[in-house]
Amino acid sequence: MSRAFLIVMDSVGCGGAPDAAAFGDEGANTLAHIAVACAEGRAEEGRSGPLHLPNLDALGLGAAVRLATGLKTPGLGAEPRGRWGAASEVSKGKDTPSGHWELAGVPVPWDWAYFPDRVPAFPEGLVAEVCAHAGTGGILGNCHASGTEIIERLGAEHLRTGWPICYTSADSVFQIAAHEEVFGLDRLIKLCQDLAPTLHSMKIGRVIARPFVGAPGAFARTANRRDFAIAPPAPTLLDWAQGAGRSTHAIGKIGDIFSHRGIGKLHKGKSDAELFDHLMRLADEAEAGSLTFANFVEFDSLYGHRRDVSGYARALEWFDRRTGDFLARLRPGDLALFTADHGNDPTWTGTDHTRERVPVLCAGVGAGSIGLVGFTDVAASVAAHLEIPSEGPGKSFL
């Protein structure tokens, strides 16, 4: 039986979303703007010259960007040898759960709730519940903030008071930062877990534990982040595969995004490099007929939100080099499908995700354009390749 590898390059959008203007993102284009910046010598930190992604471009990356927006893609001009296209999302968010659920066949049927961008950002009842679960006399933060900035700003006060640092963003999230050693990692994770039912009932998509270590002036977040996400409202591709008796593997934060539903084995790591090691191993070891679903988050978390064009370009080029090694390990009949969940244009204003189409690149299933498709068509196509029933609204493009 054939295997499938569904690989999400978190935030690697290609512009052109039909409803981008409704999100304030008309003109955003993560890949095209990085390519232009590289070609113009504006992304020279730790790398140099035009964006160099020969393996992904050979699958159709540059062609997908041009299809999505018509923009030029300097450095990405290969004639595609894979199946390629671009996908649009219908869910009313540009967040991680919305993108992943819809790629797995389930559009979000509700509007997410968001906290207002003011101080205080959180209702008094929620603050009281945080304090009750944490056993503290108050919280710090209570605002919209960057995770690294707020730890730097309030970390010392957190150490002095023992109060958790609570903050949010333009996403539907409630985040709690606390020192792993002083506050305690297990205590932080339990606090988030205890609060999750209340936040989920408010249609806040995720409660995120953000542990850090260090001392004032040298605080650093650790890899022990935990997300507590609302469960998908219907069975996803992972459930379809497991229900058909197939083995399922989740790499990275896929387990958290899908509330660990439909997942047989979870493969975690402290970095995208460690996660790619898992992907390489599964290329050798994953069972016949299995589904491997992977997320590589550092494009988004380390470079998109921080508006670091050079860093984003470096990460793409590193990923492309490893992709070549991964593709060489695939077996005849395997499908490797590379895509993204939203955009995060590092040249854009602010620090938020950007509403964009995403590339869809397929290795192992011939060559040619699939055109403009929907996120749910990705799930239907993977299901068709695995020869399992598709329960979502999408249609296979294979």
Query: 218 CB contacts (<8 Å, ≥6 apart)?
Result: none
Nearest to residue 120, comparing CAs of 100, 144, 136? 144
pLDDT band of residue 183 (cuts 50, 70, 90) is: very high
Which residue in 294, 284, 358, 287 sits closest to 328, CA to CA?
Answer: 284
Per the annotation, does 345 bind a ligand? Answer: no
H or E element at residue 278:
helix 272-285
H or E stretch including 155? helix 147-161
C-alpha span between 189 and 192 (Å, rounded): 5
User: Is 353 assigned a ligand-binding role in the annotation?
Assistant: yes
Give the 3-state secondary structure of residue 209: strand
Instruction: Check residue 148 and give its pLDDT.
Output: 87
Average pLDDT over residues 125-153: 96
> Of 30, 75, 33, nearest to 54 (Cα)?
75
Q: Which pLDDT does position 297 carry in this prediction?
A: 95
Report how far residue 368's alpha carbon sits from residue 264's, in angstroms, rounded to the nearest whole number.
33
pTM equals 0.91
376 CB contacts (<8 Å, ≥6 apart)?
90, 102, 103, 105, 106, 107, 392, 393, 394
pLDDT value at position 327?
98
Cis peptide before 120 (omega within 30 of 0): yes
Looking at residue 146, its pLDDT comes to 87
Q: Is 100 annotated as a binding residue?
A: no
Residue 170's pLDDT is what?
81
Average pLDDT, rounded, for the chain: 96
Pairing of strands 226-229, 358-363: unpaired
Q: Indicate if the pLDDT at residue 72 is higher than 90.
A: no
CB 320 within 8 A of CB 33: no
State residue 275's pLDDT score. Answer: 98
Q: 141 pLDDT band (50/70/90 cuts)?
A: very high
Return the closest-CA partner of residue 85 out of 106, 102, 105, 63. Answer: 63
Q: What CA–CA distances, in Å, run from 109 to 93, 102, 219, 373, 395?
A: 11, 10, 39, 19, 19
The percent of residues above 70 in pLDDT, for the chain, comes to 100
- How high is the pLDDT of residue 40? 97
pLDDT, residue 343, reads 98
CA dist list (Å): 169 to 52, 176, 197, 273, 398: 33, 12, 20, 27, 38
Does the annotation place 300 within a ligand binding site? yes
Question: Where would I find the beta strands (DSSP E) of 56-205?
Answer: 83-88, 140-144, 165-168, 173-179
